[in-house]
Amino acid sequence: MPIPSSGRPEFGDVAGTGVPALLGFTVGITAARRRDELASLLERRGARVVQAPALRIVPLADDGKLLAATRACLTGRLDVVIATTAIGFRGWLEAAEGWGLGDGLRDRLAQARLFTRGPKVTGAVRAAGLSECWSPRSESGAELMGHLLDTDLAGLRIAVQLHGEPLPDMVEGLRAAGAEVVEIPVYRWEPPEDLRPVRRMVELIVTGGLSAVTFTSAPAVLSLLRTAREADRLDETLAALRGDVLAACVGPVCAAPLVREGIPVVTPERYRLGALVRTLSDELPRRRVRTVEAAGHVLRVQGAAVIINGEPVMLAPKTAAVLDALTERPGRVLSRAELLRRTGTAGLTDEHAVEMTVARLRTALGPAGSAVQTVIKRGYRLAIA
């Protein structure tokens, strides 16, 4: 079916045509928090979105570990506080207020040297009536650690505000320098109560049902890989992520578990959702778009969409899989058995189904359908211009 142009350049278009850059691509979202915002950004650029939160957030008011850590900050001295995220810092103060510890915690934070990892958390600190003593321009935890380790930390008591994941390099580095570290586990992650959406996402990764999958935290990566392992599909999942399924992470800390598995990952320069979507909008078409000339028509194939002489048309998954196979090497004849093998995971079950899918492809392509030629007793090919 033809898709009209949005006409809005902020959506990110294809070579200035007005066609959304992610049209035809299916992108998986593993985030729990802000997943609707991320989905909206992707959909505005034309993507089809599949959501499967790989984690759930432990409610702060019920989090005994955070309460115990907060009380630990109120006993004895507190020399240094490291605030890593704005939402985590605000959440910590709000939880402390709910427990009747808000005033005491603010007093302790005001007396300590407060370091922030970037401008957003710096804003949260100042909004709370506090002030930071230093923040890295790069927003990098590594730069922050380097700055701290240039000073004598021996004997200091340091609170490190976490956000959903441990920071072993930072914590162990501070302890190795002689500091006593109190970890503040704000917004701890737990596996989702319903694992079915995550299992379904693993299946889509393995079978080619996703063009890309996005991650906004390292625990989400680990949760998805754990789910794949429990389903006995870890090797297939890793192979798909090393191959056709693009992994996009919001930052290097998030990407680390994938990098350790030898998976190529794209990350934006700025660790923001908008930047993540822009990076994906640049990288996915660059890697997964194929443009061919066939029978006098220019076909740009991107996922389940084909742009014919500048006009976008959406294809059913099985039909898109056949076109993708034919355009891989225009002019080459593919047998029905080969097309079945190449696209069988899309739902084709016999050679007759291939014939029916080819017929639907020709119909969907309109006048360009003549480019899909039958080679008697051999199979099908895409006619070279």
User: Does the pLDDT at position 8 exceed 80?
Assistant: no
User: In angstroms, rounded to a whole number, what is the distance separating the alpha carbons of residues 212 and 234?
Assistant: 17
Instruction: For residue 17, name the pLDDT band (cuts at 50, 70, 90).
Output: low
What is the pLDDT averaged over residues 369-375?
A: 92
Domain residue spans in the chain?
Answer: 9-55+192-288, 61-190, 315-382
What is the pLDDT averaged over residues 136-149?
A: 90
User: In angstroms, rounded to a whole number, what is the distance separating the alpha carbons of residues 65 and 42?
Assistant: 35
User: Does the pLDDT at position 97 exceed 50?
Assistant: yes
User: Does the pLDDT at position 10 exceed 50?
Assistant: no
User: In angstroms, rounded to a whole number, what is the distance separating the alpha carbons of residues 122 and 114?
Assistant: 10
User: In angstroms, rounded to a whole number, what is the distance separating the alpha carbons of residues 338 and 344?
Assistant: 9
User: Does the pLDDT at position 243 exceed 70?
Assistant: yes
Q: Residue 336: what pLDDT? A: 87
The domain made up of 61-190 has a fold known as Rossmann fold (3.40.50)
Q: Residue 6: what pLDDT? A: 32
pLDDT tens sequence across 43-64: 999 999 999 999 887 767 668 8
* DSSP bridge pairs for 157: 180
Q: Residue 67: what pLDDT? A: 93
Q: Residue 254: what pLDDT? A: 86
What is the pLDDT averaged over residues 197-215?
A: 95
User: Does the pLDDT at position 349 exceed 60?
Assistant: no
pLDDT tens sequence across 269-313: 887 899 999 999 999 999 888 999 888 889 999 999 999 988 899
Q: Which CATH number fits domain 315-382: 3.20.20.70, 3.40.50.300, 3.30.70.1290, 1.10.10.10?
A: 1.10.10.10
More confident residue, 83 or 11: 83
Burial 19-37 (b: 16+ CB within 10 A, else e): bbbbbbbbbbbbbbbebee
* Phi, psi for residue 262 in degrees, rounded to 5: 75, 25
Contact of 83 with 115, CB cutoff 8 Å: yes
Specify the pTM.
0.72
Q: Residue 219: what pLDDT? A: 85
Q: Residue 11: what pLDDT? A: 41
Q: Residue 347: what pLDDT? A: 45
- Calculate the average pLDDT of the chain: 88
Q: Residue 237: what pLDDT? A: 98
User: In angstroms, rounded to a whole number, what is the distance separating the alpha carbons of residues 163 and 189?
Assistant: 9
User: Does the pLDDT at position 362 exceed 90?
Assistant: yes
Residues in the chain: 385
Instruction: For residue 99, name the pLDDT band (cuts at 50, 70, 90).
Output: very high
CATH code of the domain occupying 9-55+192-288:
3.40.50.10090
Question: Do 61-190 and 9-55+192-288 have the same topology in CATH?
Answer: yes
